[in-house]
Amino acid sequence: MTIKEMETRTGLTRANIRFYEAEGLITPERRPNGYRDYSEEDLTVLQRVKLLRSLHMSLEEIKAVQAGDRTLAQALDRHLLQLEQDQADLERSKVVCRVMQGDGVCYETLDAPRYLEELERAAQGPPVRLDADQLPRVKAPWRRFFARNLDYLFYSTIWDLILIVFGVNISNRSTGGAVLDLVVCVVVMFLLEPVLLFRFGTTPGKKLWGFEVSHPDGRRLTYQEAYQRTLLVFLKGMGFCIPIYEWIRNYKCYLDCQEGKILPWEEDTVLVEKDDKAWRGLAYVGLALALAFGVEAAEETFQPPHNKGDITVEEFCQNYNELAEYHDMGSWYTLGLDGTWIEPTPPENTILVMSPKRPVLTFQEEDGVMTGMTYTIEGTWSDVVMTNYTDHITLFVRAFVCAQEEYAPVLVGYDPLETVLAIASSHDPDGMDKTLYGVRVTADTEWDSEGDYAKVAFSMKQLG
């Protein structure tokens, strides 16, 4: 029978049943699908345990009887003697309490030795309750959520670093790419998490928050048990990572955790909390930021341009083409290695919409080294609409400025490069004159208000 049927027939909670199983009082069979199959014998044992525990008999005594170390009659004799002793202790405690009450004692003047003479000891505590017969459950839903979140951040960081090394722009992923990223992160989770739980009993996120996972009997999980736990977390906790449904499952698990219920993946495992010190929250924030900045630093390191230092015109054009492809800025932005435009070849049955005029590029060189360039757009007013050229300008500035030896990416705070790019790609860059990383970037415009003539010239020139 199922555990739900056992709950109905015994009147015990699921937590009680799991606890008695962990204590070795019952050993249900396993079905092929992994679920427990309780027998009538298990039902009988639990009913007997419930009766004896309701009579305040200890679990140790019940185990001894079940193991045949003593008969039930012997256990009852011992238990009756204990109950009588407890009753006598309670009576003595009641008498002393009444005397103290009659004396009108207060804590500050309490004469403890006097009353201790009248009372040898009071051994009886609160009545035995079956809700005490449960494996300890860690609630802390928010800390558990952040532990899981940090684990997933580790898995996604691993995948992001792999993409970056292979030249993929993770900041400009398509919808299909984002779905692929999600699938791969889940695969990484299934590859790593069971191994971590099997070998170490924890994961990076759980370790930081002070959690460990074990079998109810205290041993480490087997690999199969760890894999089963990870699978149930994915299905029941993360909701297959399906948008909206995932948050519904998170909220449901939050409520169950708050109420102390057994979560689906903890039917056969126990989560133990070491402590809940405040420094763990600060460490979580610090580590999450470190991972984020680490990914950004790796992206800056591996992304184009790859030609650095004293570059030639040919190397500049290579930088430009790499950046155009990396940022997915269209098929008509390609330069030949001599600095001339290459006519695009659009796919069959595709109409390619392009800017009306091609900008004119003029390069400055010294001893074969490129020292600057001028980018000119000249023609009618409609030819020189700046929105047609903002991508060009961004790519040219990055291809040259980011190649300089002085250039160093800024991960946090003010970045002069981004300021220059914002001005250069604006609708009115006239009068721009900025110097950054050893390169002076200027812009001049000419507009014929009476005629239909316009000209914009961007220049980049190395200083020194």
Residue type, 397: V
Residue 160 has a pLDDT of 94
- Set out the domains of the chain in order of their start, with CATH numbers: 1-134 (1.10.1660.10), 141-302 (no CATH), 313-462 (no CATH)
Residue type, 216: P
- CA 256 to chain centroid, in Å, comes to 21
Beta bridge partners of 376: 360, 457
What is the token pair recorded at 306? Answer: 């790859």
Residue 77 has a pLDDT of 86
CB distance 209 to 145 below 8 Å: no
Burial letters 393-406, b for 16+ CB under 10 A, else e? bbbbbbbbbbbbee
CB-CB neighbours of 306 under 10 Å: 13
270-273/211-214 β-pairing:
antiparallel
Residues with pLDDT less than 50, the chain? 121-127
Residue corresponding to tokens 């049943």: 17
Residue 429 CA: distances (Å) to CA of 383, 384, 425, 426: 16, 13, 7, 6
Residue 150 has a pLDDT of 95
Residue 121 has a pLDDT of 43
